Amino acid sequence: MRTLRARFDALAALSISADPHAATSSSARKVVTSLPKTNPSGGWRILAAFLCMAAPLAASTNGTSGNFKYTDYGTYITITGTVSSPSGAIVIPSQITSKDVTGIASNAFAGCSNLTGVTIPSTVTSIGNNAFQSCTKLASVTIPSTVTSIGSYAFGSCLALTSAPISTGVTSIGNDAFQLCTGLTSVTIPASVTTIGTGVFNSCTGLTAISVDPANLNFISSADGVVFNKLNDTIVVFPAGRTGDYTIPSNVKYIKTYAFDSCVGLTSVTIPSSVTSIGSYAFNSCTGLTGMTIPSSVTAIGDYAFSSCTGLTSVTIPSGVTSIGVSVFMGCTGLTSVTIPSSVISIGNSAFSSCSGLTSVTIPPNVASIGYGAFSSCTGLTSVTIPSSVTSIGALAFSSCTGLAVAEFLGDAPTTMATNAFSGDASGFTVEYHTGKAGFTSPTWKGYPAINVDTRIIGVSGNLAFGSVTVNSTATAVMAVSNTGDAPLTVSGISYPTGFSGNWTGGTIAAGLTQNVTLTFSPTAVQAYGGNVSVSSNSTSGTGTITASGQGGVPPPPYATWQGTKFTAADILTGLTTMAADFEGDGMPNLLEYAFGTDPKTPNPSPVTVNVSGSNLQISFPCNTTCTDITYTVQASSDLSAWTDIAKSSGGATAAPIGTLSTVSDSGTGLRTVTVIDSATLPAAGGRFLRIKVSSP
């Protein structure tokens, strides 16, 4: 019973002490669990009695000694602060009022920015949380071997420290104890240390290696200065100053919480297939990492494991992972591709928040819940598909995704979804759902525009009866393709009957809108044309065909066409535009103006020339291929009475000699020059004459 009573006395003292460096409540819980099994009700009555009896033992008073503030606990002293901020080096006294100074309280010297050195006496056993935090000029610390614990953030942001003051008696180093000690270049963990907190050397960018005393029973360090547990299966601390690539040894199974936190110089980490678990914050703020292959052996990824890895561009989550934790990839602004396996059933709060580089994400078909802010501020996302398995979407899950225009739900509406889940998304953001899926309403659902994407109604209209259109000319009409459904209509193509064409081949027609298509009728023969214009689409109902018809009309004679382009309607009414007439009175009738390509309304000299070529006579004249309704005939005569045809061009064809009476030069298309050389030799006496005759049927 004395043993039990002694433990109760100890528990009472621990439980009610106000000493900042005394054991925590977790220590008290450990004492309770170590008690022998007794009658529960009787045991707790005894505990209550001893708690009441022990309460007076914890009385304390505060005081000052020189520049130090302290708390007197009756038998020992704890330094709690200073009267004024110290400058330079200080020595903490070993006694005050003849009582040993045994502890340095939390925040005792925090923010003493001019403190350069401190000597701690051998009476001290503990250094509290934040005790020397942000003592930015502190370069020298002497800690005796009597100190057994260094609290969380105890030396955080002590920028001038070059070596970690961990004495040989320390058993416990608190979380973030030396965080942001950027000047730290040397660390040796003594054999006495049994506990290393999380993030102890976080952001110590000058630290490239950590040494562990070989006699330590709990931790070891590798040849390259990485700390592992004694079993060598857990990587505990990676030096934050290391740069380049790192390959985790194949014997490692676990990556501890904060193991690589803020290792900004790392560009690549190879994780072996032996690893099964990645701890929280394990690679947090490793901004230099550009790619990460997580092996299929990994089944658990802790919260914030890759948060703020801004250089990370792609990641594949292995199929053994069932849950993506809180903020795992939050702030990975460079991430453009992520593969989430079908094994995942939940996506945690802020899991991909602020991944602004993500343009698309596939949520696998077994996900049941999407947490608070899971994809918030993913400004690159333009659309997202919510699988039918999802029953819960948290507040702000897709908020501020300014590029997100559509969220398609494949199943019933989620059982729970915050009304602000999609707040602040793209203008016109729309929820799409499918026929037969319960819980949705249209035209709005949960305050967002909502449409049934299975309702797309096509309609085609217009007067496409073209009537008679002259062969080789065109006529146009407008065909309207409408979508009177609730969802965008996709037109994949339009087919036209022979003789018809359109200026639109397909695309998307939004709900309630119409696409006008210009149809062109181009007959090439004197015949009837007609058939269905068919619009191919993903419509759910409606008619996508319409009939087009037309007649190829007889074309006017080429001269009539020329006449219509050269003369006005008023000119034609004068009667001076016929073939035989001479509109401008230059002596060349309109037929010749037509044949030779000259302007019938402007006086022109004759374009026909006759010359001597050697001992032969030749004639040159313009010939127009398009004048298919006339004949050019070159004739020769010796007496101006009897004329003989020696060359001819009909229907726009190339001029050709008649027999051997001439040689002809004629090539090209359109208006070209024809030269005909008379085969007859010029006579020594008498004459030889050539002329061009233009005739119309």
Asked, for residue 601, whether it belongs to a domain, the answer is no
Gap between the Cα atoms of 247 and 206, Å rounded: 21
Q: Report yes or no: 533 and 546 within 8 Å, Cβ to Cβ.
A: yes
In eight-state DSSP terms, residue 362 is: B
Reported as a pLDDT band with limits 50, 70 and 90, residue 38 is very low
Angle between helices 25-33 and 2-16 (to 10 degrees): 160
What value does the mean pLDDT take over residues 431-442? 91
Gap between the Cα atoms of 423 and 280, Å rounded: 29
Question: Quick one: 422 exposed, middle or buried, by C-beta within 10 A (0-12, 13-18, 19+)?
Answer: buried
Looking at the fold, whether 230 and 249 belong to one and the same domain comes out as no
Asked, for residue 602, whether it belongs to a domain, the answer is no
Residue that finishes a domain, picked among 292, 317, 344: 344
Reported as a pLDDT band with limits 50, 70 and 90, residue 541 is confident
pLDDT at 652: 86
What value does the mean pLDDT take over residues 411-439? 93
Q: What is the pLDDT of residues 569-600, one digit of tens each?
A: 999 999 999 999 999 999 999 999 999 999 99
What value does the mean pLDDT take over residues 357-383? 94
What value does the mean pLDDT take over residues 150-167? 94
Question: Which residues contact residue 512 at a Cβ distance below 8 angstroms, ignoring those fewer than 6 apart?
Answer: 483, 484
Reported as a pLDDT band with limits 50, 70 and 90, residue 46 is very low
pLDDT at 533: 96
pLDDT at 256: 96
Reported as a pLDDT band with limits 50, 70 and 90, residue 36 is very low
Please say if the pLDDT value at position 317 is more than 80.
yes
Residue holding tokens 């005790």?
A: 131
Residue that finishes a domain, picked among 454, 481, 502: 454
Please say if the pLDDT value at position 517 is more than 90.
yes
Which three-class secondary structure state does DSSP give residue 314?
strand
Gap between the Cα atoms of 207 and 260, Å rounded: 13
Looking at the fold, whether 200 and 300 belong to one and the same domain comes out as no
Reported as a pLDDT band with limits 50, 70 and 90, residue 1 is very low
Residue that finishes a domain, picked among 429, 454, 479: 454
Dihedral angle sign, alpha carbons of residues 674, 680, 681, 684: negative
**Within 13 Å and on the Cβ side, how many CA atoms surround 125?**
8
Please say if the pLDDT value at position 113 is more than 70.
yes
Domain count, the chain: 7
pLDDT at 360: 87
Please say if the pLDDT value at position 368 is more than 90.
yes
Q: How many other CB atoms are there within 10 angstroms of residue 597's CB atom?
A: 16
pLDDT at 12: 29
Q: In what order do the strands lie in the sheet with 277-278?
A: 219-221, 227-229, 234-237, 254-255, 277-278, 300-301
Between 18 and 33, the higher pLDDT residue: 18
- Alpha-carbon distances, residue 456 vs 440, 505, 542 (angstroms): 18, 19, 8
Looking at the fold, whether 465 and 443 belong to one and the same domain comes out as no
Q: What percent of the chain has pLDDT over 70?
A: 92
Reported as a pLDDT band with limits 50, 70 and 90, residue 238 is very high
Looking at the fold, whether 98 and 236 belong to one and the same domain comes out as yes
Torsion of CA 431, 433, 438, 439, to 10 degrees: 0
pLDDT at 668: 76
Which three-class secondary structure state does DSSP give residue 43?
helix
Torsions phi, psi for 361 (to 5 deg): -150, 135
Gap between the Cα atoms of 515 and 73, Å rounded: 87
Question: Quick one: 131 exposed, middle or buried, by C-beta within 10 A (0-12, 13-18, 19+)?
Answer: buried
Q: ω before 341 within 30° of 0 (cis)?
A: no
pLDDT at 667: 79
Q: What percent of the chain has pLDDT over 90?
A: 80
Of the candidates 678, 696, 671, 680, the residue with the CA atom closest to the CA atom of residue 621: 671
What value does the mean pLDDT take over residues 33-49? 32
Amino acid at 181: C
Looking at the fold, whether 562 and 629 belong to one and the same domain comes out as no
Give the mean pLDDT of the chain.
89
Gap between the Cα atoms of 181 and 56, Å rounded: 42
Q: Report yes or no: 596 and 607 within 8 Å, Cβ to Cβ.
A: yes
pLDDT at 50: 32
In eight-state DSSP terms, residue 683 is: P
Looking at the fold, whether 65 and 178 belong to one and the same domain comes out as yes
Looking at the fold, whether 489 and 622 belong to one and the same domain comes out as no
Asked, for residue 157, whether it belongs to a domain, the answer is yes
Asked, for residue 93, whether it belongs to a domain, the answer is yes
Asked, for residue 147, whether it belongs to a domain, the answer is yes
Asked, for residue 143, whether it belongs to a domain, the answer is yes
Supply the CATH number for residue 523's domain.
2.60.40.10
Q: How many other CB atoms are there within 10 angstroms of residue 137's CB atom?
A: 16
Looking at the fold, whether 431 and 484 belong to one and the same domain comes out as no
Looking at the fold, whether 85 and 127 belong to one and the same domain comes out as yes
Which three-class secondary structure state does DSSP give residue 67?
coil
Gap between the Cα atoms of 221 and 242, Å rounded: 15
pLDDT at 6: 30
Reported as a pLDDT band with limits 50, 70 and 90, residue 27 is very low
Q: Report yes or no: 373 and 352 within 8 Å, Cβ to Cβ.
A: no
Q: How many other CB atoms are there within 10 angstroms of residue 506's CB atom?
A: 15
Tokens read off for 624:
């127009």
Looking at the fold, whether 386 and 492 belong to one and the same domain comes out as no
Of the candidates 343, 316, 344, the residue with the CA atom closest to the CA atom of residue 329: 316
Question: Quick one: 416 exposed, middle or buried, by C-beta within 10 A (0-12, 13-18, 19+)?
Answer: exposed
Residue holding tokens 């119309």?
A: 696
The backbone region for 414, taken as left when phi is positive above 0, alpha when psi lies in -120 to 50, beta otherwise, is beta
| Predicted structure pTM score | 0.61
What value does the mean pLDDT take over residues 137-160? 95
Looking at the fold, whether 410 and 435 belong to one and the same domain comes out as yes
Asked, for residue 363, whether it belongs to a domain, the answer is yes
Provide the domain limits for residue 582: 558-596
**Within 13 Å and on the Cβ side, how many CA atoms surround 379?**
7
pLDDT at 548: 97
Supply the CATH number for residue 431's domain.
3.80.10.10
Question: Which residues contact residue 474 at a Cβ distance below 8 angstroms, ignoring those fewer than 6 apart?
Answer: 520, 521, 522
Gap between the Cα atoms of 305 and 326, Å rounded: 9
pLDDT at 307: 96
pLDDT at 51: 34
Looking at the fold, whether 508 and 622 belong to one and the same domain comes out as no
Q: Report yes or no: 292 and 260 within 8 Å, Cβ to Cβ.
A: no
Asked, for residue 604, whether it belongs to a domain, the answer is no
Q: What is the pLDDT of residues 322-357, one digit of tens each?
A: 999 999 999 999 999 898 999 999 999 999 999 999
Q: What is the pLDDT of residues 461-473, one digit of tens each?
A: 999 999 999 998 9
Q: What is the pLDDT of residues 611-657, one digit of tens each?
A: 998 999 999 999 988 899 999 999 999 999 999 999 999 988 899 99
DSSP codes, 559-599: HHHHHHHHS-HHHHHTTTTSSS--TT-SS--HHHHHHHT--
For the chain, first and last CA: distance in Å? 142
Reported as a pLDDT band with limits 50, 70 and 90, residue 250 is very high
Reported as a pLDDT band with limits 50, 70 and 90, residue 5 is very low
In eight-state DSSP terms, residue 49 is: H
